[in-house]
């Protein structure tokens, strides 16, 4: 029994170190995001023109269609609001702890927290101003790049998918993927259409959020390898064994 406990503690320490390392390296390892950041900071004209055209075109629609704009604000400020999504992830984490899936709960929490802190840090460093439009239909505080809404949606819906897919029948998984992808895209659209973000802000939030999920997901896969579990596939979730009553492995049997 003492040997088993020492083995579990050693495994937990390795898992925690990998999670922290993945979270810390997320921004640096995000090559597509880094390229976009260089273009934003360098004020690359084609990107600036794309941002301005998207903002002006969608703003005209928002001003001319109040009911449409009200729907976008409902989705952006309530349904897909970062606070709403973070509370949902927190509840999911609590449920995982209740089931005994401690390491999967740690992954979910670490992914959400790392995404929020990294996004805030990049905003503070870049200090990009939000769009300044005539007759604005919405307002938002803080800096603009990357979009916190887009990044939180990316990390949160990835957590929902990668945790809950094992509990969903195979035929219904494509519906879950569709809902998640459409929600993430929808969040970005609402932020640009409401005039509170440039398109490149939203793209940056998507890319940076994806980088965080990929790197923390790899850390979780490394833990699975340490405990002798088979590699999982993104289509079946991070922990296919979640459907079992007790997902914790016996690391003394190899």
pLDDT digits (tens, 9 = 90+) for 215-244: 888 878 777 766 667 766 677 777 777 765
- 21 pLDDT band (50/70/90 cuts)? low
Query: What pLDDT was estimated at residue 248?
Result: 47
Let me know: does 145 contact 198? Beta carbons within 8 Å. Answer: yes
Enumerate the active-site residues.
Answer: 149, 197
Say which residue, 23 or 73, is predicted with more confidence.
73
Find all residues with CB under 8 Å of 82, minimum gap 6, and list them: 116, 148, 149, 152, 153
Task: Give the number of C-alpha atoms closer than 13 A to the C-alpha of residue 149, restricted to the C-beta side.
Answer: 30
Q: Is it the case that residue 22 has pLDDT exceeding 90?
A: no
Listed by start position, the domains of the chain span 2-243
Match 């002006």 to its residue by tokens.
56
Q: Which of 89-93, 180-184, 243-247 has the lowest mean pLDDT?
A: 243-247
Share of the chain above pLDDT 90, in %: 53
ω before 146 within 30° of 0 (cis)?
Answer: yes
Say how far apart CA 131 and CA 53 lie, in whole Å. 12
**Per-residue pLDDT band at 252 (split at 50, 70, 90):** very low
Report the pLDDT averaged over residues 186-209.
95
Residue 26 has pLDDT above 60, yes or no: no
3-state secondary structure of 42: coil
CA distance 250 to 254: 9
pLDDT on residue 149:
95
Residue whose pair of structure tokens reads 């020492």 in the numeric block: 6
Listed in order, strand segments (DSSP E) in the chain are: none
SS3 251: coil
Residue among 213, 151, 137 nearest 187 (CA): 151
What phi and psi, each to the nearest 5 degrees, are found at residue 100?
A: 90, 5
Q: How confident is the model at residue 25 (pLDDT cuts 50, 70, 90)?
A: low
Q: Summarize the chain as % helix, strand, coil (round to 5).
A: 75, 0, 25
pLDDT above 80 (res 198): yes
What does the mean pLDDT of the chain come to? 84
pLDDT at 229: 72
Residue 141 Rama label (left phi>0; alpha psi -120 to 50; beta)? beta
- At residue 99 the predicted structure's pLDDT band, cuts being 50, 70 and 90, is confident
Q: Quick one: tokens of 221? A: 């896969």
8 Å CB contact between 198 and 51: yes
From residue 8, alpha-carbon distances to 4, 15, 42, 222, 240 in Å are: 6, 10, 49, 15, 20
Q: How far apart are CA 70 and CA 221, in angstroms?
A: 42
Over residues 118-156, the pLDDT tens digits come to 999 999 999 999 998 888 888 888 899 999 999 999 999
Is the per-residue pLDDT at 249 higher than 50?
no
Model confidence at 92: pLDDT above 70: yes
User: What 3-state class would DSSP assign to 172?
Assistant: helix
């Amino acid at each position: 029994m003492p040997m088993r406990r020492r083995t579990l503690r050693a495994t937990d320490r390795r898992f925690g170190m990998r999670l922290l390392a993945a979270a810390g390296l997320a921004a640096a390892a995000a090559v597509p995001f880094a390229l976009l950041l260089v273009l934003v900071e360098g004020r690359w004209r084609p990107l600036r023109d794309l941002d301005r055209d998207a903002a002006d075109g969608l703003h005209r629609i928002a001003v001319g269609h109040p009911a449409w704009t009200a729907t976008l604000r409902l989705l952006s400020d309530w349904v897909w609001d970062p606070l709403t999504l973070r509370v949902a992830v927190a509840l999911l984490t609590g449920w995982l702890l209740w089931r005994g899936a401690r390491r999967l709960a740690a992954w979910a929490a670490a992914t959400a927290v790392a995404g929020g802190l990294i996004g805030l840090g990049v905003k503070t460093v870049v200090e990009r101003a939000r769009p300044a439009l005539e007759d604005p239909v919405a307002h938002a505080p803080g800096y603009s790049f990357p979009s916190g809404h887009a990044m939180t949606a990316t990390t949160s819906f990835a957590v929902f998918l990668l945790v809950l897919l094992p509990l969903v029948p195979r035929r219904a998984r494509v519906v879950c993927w569709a809902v998640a992808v459409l929600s993430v895209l929808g969040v970005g659209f609402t932020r640009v259409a409401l005039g509170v973000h440039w398109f490149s802000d939203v793209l940056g939030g998507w890319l940076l959020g994806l980088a965080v999920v990929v790197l923390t997901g790899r850390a979780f896969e490394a833990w699975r390898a340490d405990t002798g579990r088979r590699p999982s596939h993104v289509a079946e979730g991070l922990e296919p064994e979640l459907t079992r009553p007790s997902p914790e492995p016996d690391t003394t049997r190899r």
